[in-house]
Amino acid sequence: MTLRLGDTAPDFEQDSSEGTINFYDFLGNHWGILFSHPADYTPVCTTELGFTAKLKDEFEKRDVKAIALSVDDVESHKGWINDINETQNTTVNFPIIADKDRKVSTLYDFIHPNASETVTVRSLVIIDPDKKVRLIITYPASTGRNFHEILRVIDSLQLTDNYKVATPANWQDGEDVVIVPAIKDETELTERFPKGYTAVKPYLRLTPQPNK
């Protein structure tokens, strides 16, 4: 199965380090991040899971629930979590799915045969409260993810869902945003963007972030 932006995220039930997970029940009405790991006890994954745990407050601020996946079993996960807590000076505060049968990895297209027939790539999926896939990022197994970029994308998605704007290159929360080209009526522009805007070109109009 190939997962694309806008698709409905597949539901599943699978064992995890925190017991059986029904994915939709776990997410509830929250945003979700599902990210895969090639295997337990791997160095890059250990740093990623530790850093994710340290971002707990940032995720909660954005109403996001994190859940990881590795193809090893629950007992292996529990031992690995002890290592993560010790080496990364944190406490893992989210479940790690035990995907020994590759069920979830197959549903979410986490195994790329030309990279490895058995090991998942380092993929991350952002899912909105309507269970729609909003972002897919896939790294090679050798490269750790940039979780600051993940937070930036969540900020952008949540902002642009609520206002008729888009975020420009390298945008950070609090910076100017782009007014979508579909808005052309001056009355609507004034009502939606009372702080005003700068027209760099007719199609490129910048305005202060509306919710700041």
pLDDT digits (tens, 9 = 90+) for 54-66: 999 999 999 999 9
Q: What is the pLDDT of residue 15?
A: 97
Q: What is the pLDDT of residue 38?
A: 81
Q: Is 146 a catalytic residue?
A: no
Average pLDDT of adjacent 10-residue blocks, the chain of 212 residues: 90 97 98 91 94 97 97 95 97 96 90 51 90 93 90 97 96 97 92 94 95 90
pLDDT digits (tens, 9 = 90+) for 180-196: 999 998 999 999 999 99
Q: Give the number of other Cβ atoms within 10 Å of residue 123's Cβ.
A: 22
Superfamily of domain 13-144: Glutaredoxin (3.40.30.10)
Q: What is the pLDDT of residue 118?
A: 46
Q: What is the pLDDT of residue 164?
A: 93
The residue annotated as part of the active site, out of 45, 53, 119, 133, is 45
Give pTM, 2 decimals: 0.91
Q: 103 to each of 95, 99, 106, how far by Cα in Å?
A: 17, 6, 5
What ranges do the domains of the chain cover?
13-144, 163-207
